[in-house]
Amino acid sequence: MNFEEIRKKYLWGRLDTILTLFDLVLSVIFLILSYLINNIYIKGVGVGLLIAGVTSALAYFIRSKNVKP
C-alpha cells in the first residue's frame, strides 16, 4: 500500500476532523508539559491551542449541521 492509497483511504473527506483532533491532542500535551516543568508560557500556548481546537470543533459541528450532502 503506497502513500497515495493511504491518503485517499484515511484522509479523504476527514481532514478537518483529523486536524481538529490533532489540535486538541497537541493542546493537552502542552498543558501537561507546562505543569511538569512549571512554565507559564507553555501553559499559555496550551490554553491558546485548546481555545482554537474548541472553536474549530464548534465550527465543524455547525457546518456539518447546516450543509447536507
Q: Which pLDDT tens digit goes with each residue over 31-46? A: 999 999 999 999 999 9
pTM of the model as a whole: 0.72
The boundaries of the domain holding residue 46 are 14-66
Question: What pLDDT score was predicted for residue 68?
Answer: 62
Q: Is 16 exposed, middle or buried (0-12, 13-18, 19+ CB in 10 A)?
A: middle
What is the C-alpha to C-alpha distance for residues 52 and 69, in angstroms, rounded to an integer?
Answer: 26
Say if 29 falls within a structural domain. yes
Say if 41 falls within a structural domain. yes
As for how many domains the chain has, the answer is 1
Question: What pLDDT score was predicted for residue 8?
Answer: 75
Q: Cα dist. 35→20, 22, 28, 46 in Å? A: 23, 20, 11, 11
Asked if 60 contacts 16 with a C-beta cutoff of 8 angstroms, the reply is yes
